[in-house]
Amino acid sequence: MAKKRAVITGITGQDGSYLAEFLLEKDYEVFGLIRRSSTVNFERISHLQDKLELISGDLLDQKSLVTALQTAKPHEVYNLGAQSFVPASWEQPMLTGEITGLGVTRMLEAIRTTDEEIRFYQASTSELFGKAQETPQSETTPFYPRSPYGVSKLYAHWITINYRESFDMFACAGILFNHESPRRGLEFVTRKITHAVARIKHGIDEELRLGNLDARRDWGFAGDFVQAMWLMLQQDKPDDFVIATGETRTIREFCQVAFDRAGLDWENYVVVDERFFRPAEVNILLGDAAKASETLGWKPETSFEKMVQLMVDHDLEMVAKQSE
């Protein structure tokens, strides 16, 4: 039987790399959309490179998306590409809107132009809930985004639903709560903490400066979450699903577990710095993934403690190697 083919946008990012691994294990032909830059940034996919087809393209450029789909002739498109860092969205609100919001319409139009049968996954987010109108949050919770990123993702979410309803496309949105891993970007709070733990342990840094320690997040492991993306596209009909662990913790609690892992007391090192507070905060995220559990049979496998352990151990080893 001919192999299934998938295009992943955002393949150089955290989720893209885990999803590529997952699909390769399922014997897919995997095509990754790569935007041009003056230096390569393939760290997260270098171990897969001989198994992947990389296609040049950008969510800002309609023609490149059409060409990518004509080249790959995919059965499935996973749209993970985005300007995904919330604070940057206040600094570059229009760019964020163009990539994270309108980029989705460009991809949906590219699908309509090439093959309407292609199944489409959109990376929606718990940032849609923002100033949460109820807790826990499920597929029926009203949205109230709190950043240009969240607002762009709201547009992206609704345009996905709109193309499904307007053109009968198999388009799904996964409303994923925060998910982390040793491949998380260094600017996100979890990796910022585990990386700092490693640098402090190795005597390179003396403190870690953070913003709001009281915000709560429902943190899962990225490797578990990409499976849910795939499951959504294997169903008989397209739909939207919340993907979450159902546990919420403060940034303070994350610090405690991460520093403990390295035998350090977090209170001796963490300094609150106003510069890292946001103009508008998302105070509490806690997801109810009952629908995904019932319909997709999806459940998270990696515990919070295990995930933090993975991240701290990875960073301790990485910093040790760098300082050799």
DSSP secondary structure string for all residues of 234-300: TSSS---EEE--S--EEHHHHHHHHHHHTT--GGGTEEE-GGG--SS---B--B--HHHHHHH----
Size of the site for ligand G4F (CB under 6 A): 23
Question: Which member of 62, 84, 152, 190 binds ligand NAP (CB under 6 A)?
Answer: 84
Which lies closer to ligand G4F via its Cβ, residue 107 or residue 169?
A: 107
Tokens of 135: 């807790």
For residue 179, how many other CB atoms are within 10 A of its CB? 27
Among 113-121, 176-184, 244-252, 258-266, which window interacts with ligand NAP (CB under 6 A)? 176-184
Which residue's structure tokens are 């739909």? 239
- Where in 120-159 is the site for ligand NAP (CB under 6 A)? 123, 125
Amino acid at 321: K
3-state secondary structure at position 216:
strand
Q: In whole angstroms, how close is the CB of 180 to ligand G4F at the nearest point?
A: 8
Which lies closer to ligand G4F via its Cβ, residue 177 or residue 259?
A: 177
- To the query of whether residue 25 is one of the catalytic residues in this protein, the response is no
Among 13-21, 67-75, 105-113, 252-260, which window interacts with ligand NAP (CB under 6 A)? 13-21
Give the per-residue contact string, 109-138, with ligand G4F (x = CB under 6 A; - = no).
Answer: ----------------xxx-----------
Residue 245, contacted partner among ligand G4F, ligand NAP, none, CB below 5-8 A by kind: none
- To the query of whether residue 149 is one of the catalytic residues in this protein, the response is yes
- To the query of whether residue 127 is one of the catalytic residues in this protein, the response is yes
- Where in 40-69 is the site for ligand NAP (CB under 6 A)? 41, 58-60
Among 45-53, 91-99, 160-168, 212-220, which window interacts with ligand G4F (CB under 6 A)? 212-220
* Contacts of 313 by beta carbon, 8 Å cutoff, 6+ apart: 261
In degrees, to the nearest 5, what angle opens at C-alpha 248 toward C-alphas 101 and 267?
Answer: 110
Contact 221, 227 (CB under 8 A): no
**199 touches ligand G4F by CB under 6 A:** no
H helices, E strands: number in the chain = 11, 13
With CA atoms as reference, report the closest residue to 65 among 81, 51, 89: 81
- Where in 71-90 is the site for ligand G4F (CB under 6 A)? 84, 86
> Which of 114, 149, 163, 180 is the catalytic position?
149
**What is the spatial distance between Cα 259 and Cα 262, in angstroms, rounded to a whole number?**
5
Give the per-residue contact string, 180-209, with ligand NAP (x = CB under 6 A; - = no).
Answer: -----x------------------------
What backbone phi and psi angles, to 5 degrees, belong to 125? -150, 155
**9 touches ligand NAP by CB under 6 A:** yes
DSSP-derived letter for residue 137 is B
Omega of the bond prior to 136 within 30 degrees of 0, cis?
yes
**What is the spatial distance between Cα 302 and Cα 316, in angstroms, rounded to a whole number?**
20
| Residues in touch with ligand NAP (CB under 6 A) | 9-10, 12-16, 33, 35, 41, 58-60, 80-84, 99, 123, 125, 176, 178-179, 185
Catalytic positions, written as ranges: 125, 127, 149
| Residues in touch with ligand G4F (CB under 6 A) | 84, 86, 125-127, 177-178, 187-190, 192, 210-212, 215, 217, 251, 276, 278, 281-282, 285
